[in-house]
Amino acid sequence: MSNQTATHYDAIVIGSGQAGGPLASALARSGRRTAIIEEAHVGGTCINEGCTPTKTMIAGARVAYLARRGPDYGVHTGEVAIDLPRVRQRKRDIVESFRAGSERRIKQTKGLDLIRGHAAFDGANSLTVKGDDGARTLTADLVFVNTGARPATPQIDGIDSVPYLTSTSIMELADVPDHLIVLGGGYVGLEFAQMFRRFGSRVTVVHRGGHLLSREDNDVADAVADVLREDEIEILLGTTARRVHLHADRIALTVATGSGERTMTGSHLLAAVGRTPNTDRLNLSAAGVATDERGYIPVNDHLETNVPGIFALGDVNGGPAFTHISYDDFRIIKTYVVDGEHATTTGRLVPYTVFTDPQLGRVGLTEREARQRYRSVRVAKMPMSSVARALEVDESRGFLKAVVDANTDRILGCAILGIEGGELMAMIEIAMMGNLAYGRLRDGIFAHPTLAESLNNLFATLDG
């Protein structure tokens, strides 16, 4: 602990992600003297390493894809060339703009101090922050941990001996990889796989499961795999990475398959095998805060840890690792702590979109989950090739799928794999939030020709 006199705050927020930043401002506006501690960049994973930069680069990859498809629409252009440094600079510019805006809002909030440095607990109400200007001790009645997570290291022999990429470092490449090998068939790996295929790389995805996207129903995951294979991405399912080494200037990866081992070589290796919570340097034991076997901080439905006065928000608490869930964590804490009203995580919907092209929008229960929980369910399913708007713009890959409680006609969940699948999913989510029976969407009047009117025909399939 520092020998300096401790500075006392009413509340301290560790981390300035999509939960921490808004929460710190709300606490300060409520009259509490508040500090927010940030070791790296303001804005957290989303702005700096996640949603903002990846979706910006995906947009560039889609332009390349559409340019190559120009003749399909009767539009002929010249050769498509990728200027990856320009793609990268556009990404950097947008990240810097978003980051600067977040930092400006924090600095302009009266009663809120932004403190740069690394924070670690000395006790339940005490922290030491080490920064460029030395160490200082802070105390507070309330502490909120919003330190997020980082890419996990693959547990394969030789990984430390090769220059593998993560979801952060791959976005700083100056040249398009000749052959990118992607470890992991989750949404992060698949988004980068398709992105770099469209930039011109040969791409191989290595996934140990029998289907991609393990959260999804098999028909959804298999349809995503079909799309990626159509885009000439090699998908290796039921394949486990065993060891890796450098061979000349290439990366040699040995994998185990159902028919034995094989070794492939590539120019680059992307590790997209999950994430690790940033709790290992917080000295949580000094505060008595419990963690699970993976290092995440368990919380109750008010986002409280096992120690009174200490809360955990965002990815670090092991909940769904999405920006919008982190922001909902902020709303729950604001309602519960700042406003003194009731709010919990119980029963909240968890929507998400996988930004492959076409997008996969998901909310609520999968068909598999619904059949486990409910006595009788019905499934509405329709190909995107039956949607007029999708045909008009020649983007008809994928399908729409919704699961309905047969007893109440309430919508339990949906998966929309198709053009603007995330936006269509959100329409169904709104109906779920309002507890509407599926017939309200079947009979709704939606403008023609829009993607929205596909919901008429999707739910009409239940009437046979």
The set of catalytic residues is 448
Cα dihedral angle (217, 223, 226, 231), rounded to 10 degrees? -120
Neighbouring residues of 124: CB distance < 8 A, sequence distance ≥ 6: 287, 288, 307, 309, 310
Interatomic CA distance for residues 50 and 323, integer angstroms: 9
Count CB atoms within 10 A of the CB of residue 248.
6
| Pairwise CA distance, residues 140 & 310, whole Å | 10
CB 197 within 8 A of CB 203: yes
Which H or E run contains 235?
A: strand 234-236
**Residue 311 to residue 303: CA distance in whole angstroms:** 6
**Residues 111, 345, 293, 365: is their CA dihedral positive or negative?**
negative
Question: Which residues is 247 bridged to in the sheet?
Answer: 250
Compute the distance between CA of residue 88 and CA of residue 141 in angstroms, rounded to an integer.
43
Strands (E), 78-208: 112-116, 118-123, 126-131, 134-145, 149-151, 179-183, 202-206
Structure tokens at 222: 């298999």
Look-up of token digits 């791959």: 170
Q: Do 337 and 188 meet the contact criterion of CB atoms below 8 Å apart?
A: no
Q: Which of 148, 146, 165 is nearest to 273 (CA)?
A: 165
Sign of CA dihedral 64, 66, 70, 76: negative
